[in-house]
Amino acid sequence: MGMTMTQKILAAHAGLDKVEAGQLIEANLDLVLGNDITSPVAIKEMDKMNVNGVFDKDKIALVPDHFVPNKDIKSAEHCKCVREFAYRNQITNYFEVGDMGIEHALLPEKGLTVAGDVIIGADSHTCTYGALGAFSTGVGSTDMAAGMATGKAWFKVPSAIRFNLTGKPSEWVSGKDVILHIIGMIGVDGALYKSMEFTGEGIKNLTMDDRFTIANMAIEAGGKNGIFPVDDLAIAYMKEHSNKPYTVYEADEDAVYDETYTIDLSALKPVVAFPHLPENTKTIDEIKEDIKIDQVVIGSCTNGRINDMRIAAKVLKGRHVAKGLRCIVIPATQAVYMQAMDEGLLKTFIEAGAVVSTPTCGPCLGGYMGILAQGERCVSTTNRNFVGRMGHVESEIYLASPAVAAASAVAGKITCPCRL
């Protein structure tokens, strides 16, 4: 019986020739990630341990990004805790305001995540790095503390679901539509504690930004991780951004999958997830009623990369945000912000009546920079639309791609660019 990509990576990091689904292992870690919300809890747990500092100052990344720049005294205290810990332990990859970005866009950009790595992060969307052929998954703050102290973590080896992608997406269909389609198909617990492994000739038609988006939202289907094969595009990305050595793992031909789904990318339409679960999806063609909206957010660890900015700007160019509607654009990192500025995208956003924010998670988790009031509706390129996720419990969030979000900002209601 063969192994999947994920199982091969975990076996190698556990020092084993073979692992099977359900097996408990202890694996060596290549990177441990924390942010300004989760790290203070982990730091306090580390203080209780009888350890002398961290296992490796180069293999820890601390990214204050959720309430940064600080929105209040409590968030300032959280960031102070992280900052002092980073300085005390000489953490190499601590990212202060001015250098920081949204963690799951920043780490690949900085070359800290490569194929074959095992990465844990005290943030559920750590599964993003599977786009590069790494095993990455979210953990609790206590596991983060143990990881920072020992460089190891316990895992139950996951079984896998294979998603065979074929065809080429049409113009306004992106990775966000692919993963929303999958979540709508299998449900928010359809891949519970399973590895979502993406294969097929259609992968060559997905950009790295598409792949990061798809892997990022594996957790929204309950997945332990999402992972892509390492092809020429992924290798080119790693060579551009990283000096780290990488290892390519391929699934065995006789690897066992719990299920296999084939998805023709050319048949997909833009998808919108209605409140209050990512599985509550409709294609743009299935939305018959006019759904008036109050706010649009374009950004987050899911859709704040440069291609997302370009797509939104393409839709907004020469158009204007609907009267009475707020449109907030958040480049995911300083590098994305600079590139968007150099390409004139920020000018396009501002001329269209949008506001451009410093990199931050901000509104995604109902933190700041776009909180919803009672009864308000928002189309957002973020990854969750649970009750109260972005503000008042009686507000509504509709998840969509940057193209649909930008078009909806212009129309004042949910729509797609082809209808403008």
pLDDT in tens, 66-95: 999 999 999 999 999 999 999 999 999 999
| CATH class, 273-419 region | alpha beta
SS3 of residue 34 by DSSP: strand
Label residue 298 by pLDDT band (50, 70, 90). very high
Q: State the burial class of residue 237 (Cβ atoms within 10 Å of its Cβ: 0-12, 13-18, 19+).
A: buried
* Closest among 116, 131, 278 to 209, alpha carbons compared: 131
Average pLDDT, stretch 306-311?
96
Nearby residues of 74 by Cβ (< 8 Å), 6 or more positions away: none
β-pairing verdict for 281-283 and 271-273:
antiparallel
Average pLDDT, stretch 362-383?
94
Contact 111, 92 (CB under 8 A): no
Residue 1 has pLDDT above 90, yes or no: no
- Residue 155 confidence (pLDDT): 96
Contact 359, 65 (CB under 8 A): yes
The pLDDT tens digits of the residues spanning 118-155 come to 999 999 999 999 999 999 999 999 999 999 999 999 99
The pLDDT tens digits of the residues spanning 239-279 come to 999 999 999 999 999 999 999 999 999 999 999 999 999 99
273-419: same fold as 5-245+252-264? Answer: yes
- Residue 418 confidence (pLDDT): 86
Residue 233 has pLDDT above 90, yes or no: yes
Site of tokens 């959280």? 78
- The CB density around residue 287, as the number of other CB atoms within 10 Å, is 17
- What CATH number does domain 5-245+252-264 carry, 3.30.499.10, 2.40.10.10, 3.30.1330.10, 3.30.1490.20? 3.30.499.10
What the block records as the tokens of 334 is 């300083």
The domain spans of the chain are: 5-245+252-264, 273-419
- Residue 419 confidence (pLDDT): 86
Give 3-state DSSP helix, strand, coil % of the chain, rounded to 5: 35, 20, 45
- Residue 52 confidence (pLDDT): 84
Average pLDDT, stretch 109-116?
97
φ/ψ of residue 168, rounded to 5 = -130, 130
Contact 284, 416 (CB under 8 A): yes
CA distance 33 to 110: 13
Instruction: Please give the mean pLDDT across all residues of the chain.
Output: 95
- Residue 235 confidence (pLDDT): 97
Average pLDDT, stretch 303-312?
96
- Residue 321 confidence (pLDDT): 97
Q: How far is CA 148 from CA 39, 43, 188, in A?
A: 10, 9, 30
Contact 160, 255 (CB under 8 A): yes
State percent of the chain over pLDDT 90: 95
The pLDDT tens digits of the residues spanning 150-196 come to 999 999 999 999 999 999 999 999 999 999 999 999 999 999 999 99
DSSP-derived secondary structure for 43-98: HHHHHHS---S-S-TTSEEEE--SSTTT-SHHHHHHHHHHHHHHHHTT-TEE--TT
Average pLDDT, stretch 8-13?
98
- Residue 420 confidence (pLDDT): 79
